[in-house]
């Protein structure tokens, strides 16, 4: 991993330095850039793959509370250091919110935008309250127990019992993040603004991967975004939840590779 500094915080990133179209990948909440390690295998030899750890996740520091806009600015600090002018941006879940924030200010730099189990809508009041309860839970019970309870729920019913090694690995990684980073992530997501207008006005193609069994995001809302961008590539996965890159790796890899080729055409 390499590092840049954003607001006196070290931001970790990986770059394979391949001379090809740049693809910037942003992980979701309780995840880090390692989630993409196996996922990028089909295209990492042909594309300049960049993976970033958001503040308080992976190897990136968090010193002060930060917003989704701060996370977006940190990602762009990496992009700037690598002297990338045009790129395809793909974000999972919270990483999708960060991607939309980047798209708001840097749409001319995007060759494509991918929302991997994510959407442009602001939180409902009920969701905001749930996020604040999560923060209280971490304060009371510790973030290790929080990760142990949360992460299995991101997968479709039955999957965690049949894939315990993966679940335990993800829980172990997330448990090593600072509690402040996980609390800040919930607060940042609760405070984020609606970005439907950004999605509607995107000048580049937009990939949307939607899991019909996603218990984290409302399916009805996910479907609403499908018609928003001028050029949308939409995949609805009938048997997939919130973590398609793990539960349907080959299918989602093919979707991303096809999208990358489409963005280059």
Query: Does residue 110 contact residue 201 with C-beta atoms inside 8 Å?
Result: no
Residue 215 gets which letter from DSSP? S
The residue to which tokens 């315990």 are assigned: 164
Angle subtended at Cα 172 by Cα 168 and Cα 178, rounded to the nearest 5 degrees: 150
- Distance CA(265)–CA(256), nearest Å, equals 14
pLDDT the model gives residue 110: 98
> Please, are residues 147 and 171 in contact by the beta-carbon 8 Å criterion?
yes
Nearest to 132 by CA among 80, 74, 217, 191: 191
pLDDT tens figures, 82-117: 999 999 999 999 999 999 999 999 999 999 999 999
Alpha carbon of 242 to those of 77, 92, 118, 136, 236: distances in Å?
28, 9, 9, 24, 12
**What is the value of pTM for the model shown?**
0.96
Domain ranges of the chain: 2-122+194-264
In angstroms, the Cα distances linking 228 to 23, 91, 108, 253 are 23, 18, 18, 24
Tokens of 190: 């609760």
Residue 24 clears pLDDT 90, i.e. is over it: yes
Quote the CA–CA distance of 86 and 178 in Å, as a whole number.
33
Instruction: State the average pLDDT over residues 174-195.
Output: 98
Average pLDDT score over residue span 246-263: 97
Quote the pLDDT of residue 221: 85
C-alpha angle 35-39-43 in degrees, rounded to nearest 5: 135
CA 116 to chain centre: 7
**More confident call, 158 vs 23:** 23
At 200-249, the pLDDT tens digits run 999 999 999 999 999 888 888 888 999 999 999 999 999 999 999 999 99
pLDDT at residue 36 above 90? yes
Which has the closest alpha carbon to 82: 114, 115, 57, 49? 49
How large is the angle between the packed helices 143-153 and 125-141, nearest 10 degrees? 140
Six token digits for residue 188 = 């940042």
- Residue 253's contacts (CB-CB under 8 Å, 6 or more residues apart) are 39, 41, 42, 43
Give the CATH number of domain 2-122+194-264: 3.40.50.1820
């Amino acid at each position: 991993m390499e590092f840049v500094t954003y607001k006196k915080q070290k931001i970790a990133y990986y770059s394979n330095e391949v001379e090809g179209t740049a693809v910037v990948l942003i992980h979701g909440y309780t995840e880090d850039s390692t989630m993409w390690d196996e996922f990028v295998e089909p295209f990492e030899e042909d594309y300049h793959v960049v993976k970033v750890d958001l503040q308080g996740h992976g190897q990136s520091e968090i010193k002060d509370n930060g917003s989704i806009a701060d996370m977006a600015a940190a990602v762009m600090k990496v992009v700037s250091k690598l002297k990338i002018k045009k790129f395809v941006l793909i974000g999972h879940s919270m990483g999708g919110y960060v991607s939309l924030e980047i798209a708001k200010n840097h749409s001319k730099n995007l060759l494509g935008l991918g929302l991997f189990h994510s959407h442009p809508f602001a939180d409902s009041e009920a969701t905001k309250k749930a996020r604040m309860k999560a923060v209280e839970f971490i304060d009371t019970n510790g973030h290790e127990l929080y990760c142990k309870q949360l992460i299995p729920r991101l997968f479709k019913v039955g999957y965690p019992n049949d894939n315990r090694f993966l679940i335990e690995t993800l829980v172990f990684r997330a448990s090593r993040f600072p509690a402040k980073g996980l609390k800040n992530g919930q607060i940042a997501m609760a405070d984020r603004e609606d970005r439907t207008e950004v999605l509607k006005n995107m000048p580049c193609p937009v990939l949307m991967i939607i899991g019909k069994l996603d218990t984290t995001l409302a399916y009805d809302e996910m479907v609403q975004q499908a018609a928003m961008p001028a050029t949308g590539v939409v995949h609805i996965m009938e048997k997939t939840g919130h973590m398609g890159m793990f539960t349907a790796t080959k299918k989602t890899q093919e979707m991303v590779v096809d999208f990358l080729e489409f963005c280059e055409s």
